[in-house]
A and B are shown apart, each in its own frame.
Chain A
Amino acid sequence: MIARSLTDKGRYWILILPALAIMLTFYIWPLVEIFGISFSEPRPGFDNYASMFDSRPIRTSFVITFRVAAITTIWCLVLGYIVSYAIYNTKPKYVGLMIALVLLPFWLSVLIRSFAWIVLLGRSGVVNDSLGAIGLIDKPLPLMHNEFGVILSMVHVMLPFAILPIMANMKGINPSYVDAARGLGASELRAFVSVYFPQTLPGVLSAALLVFVLSLGFYITPALLGGGRVLMISEYITYQIQELLNWGVGTSLSVALLLATAAVILAAGRFVNLRRTFLERG
Chain B
Amino acid sequence: MSGDSFTFGQDDIEFKQDLGDITLERYKAGKIDRRSALAMLGALGLVPLLGDKALANAKELVLVNWGGKAKDVLQEIMGDTYAKEAGIKVVVDGAGPSAGKIRAMVESGAVVWDVCDSGPGSAIILGERGITQPIDYSIVDKANIIEPFTWEFGCANYFYSYTLCCNPTMLEAVPQNWADVWNVKDFPGKRTFRKSVRGMLEPAAMAMGAAPDEVYEFLGDEAGIKAAIQKYRDIREHVIVWPSGSMSQQLFLQEEVAIGCIWSTRAHLLKDEMPDGSFTTTFNEGVLSPGAWVVPKHNPAGTEQAMRFIAHSANPELQVKWLEAMGPGPANPAAAALVPEELKAWNPSSPENRATQTVYNDAWYAKNQIWAEELYVDALIN
Interface residues of A (CB under 8 A from B): 37, 41-42, 55-57, 60-61, 64, 118, 122-125, 145, 223, 227-231, 236, 239, 243-247
Contacts and interface: CB of A to CB of B under 8 A. Distances in A.
Contact of A60 (B1, B8, B378): B378
Interface string B120-159: 0000000000000000000000000000000000000000
5 contacts: A57-B381, A57-B382, A145-B190, A228-B239, A229-B240
Interface of B: 1, 3-5, 7-8, 10, 14, 100, 190, 195-196, 236, 239-243, 254-256, 369-370, 373-374, 377-378, 380-382
- Of A55, A61, A123, A230, which is in contact with the most chain B CB atoms at under 10 Å from its CB? A123
A245 B3 contact: yes
Contact of B14 (A37, A229, A243): A243
Given A60-B381, A145-B190, A239 B7 contact: no
Given A227-B241, A229-B236, A123 B381 contact: no
Contacts of B241: 227-229
Given A56-B378, A223-B243, A123 B254 contact: yes
Contacts of A223: 243
A227 B238 CA distance: 10
Contacts of A118: 254
A124 B258 CA distance: 12
Contact of B254 (A122, A229, A247): A122
A227 B240 contact: yes
B258 to A, nearest CB: 10
What is the predominant secondary structure among interface residues of chain A facing chain B?
loop
A37 B1 contact: yes
Given A41-B1, A56-B382, A123-B256, A228 B240 contact: yes
A223 B244 CA distance: 11
A57 B236 CA distance: 15
Contact of A64 (B14, B190, B256, B381): B381
A180 B14 CA distance: 66
Nearest to B378: A57
A194 B131 CA distance: 75
A37 B1 CA distance: 9
A244 B381 contact: no
Contacts of A231: 377, 380-381
Contacts of A145: 190, 240, 256
A229 B374 contact: no
A61 B196 CA distance: 16
A239 B341 CA distance: 40
Contacts of B369: 244
A124 B380 contact: no
Given A60-B378, A229-B381, A239-B195, A244 B373 contact: yes
Given A37-B1, A145-B190, A239-B195, A123 B255 contact: yes
Given A60-B378, A124-B255, A229 B239 contact: yes
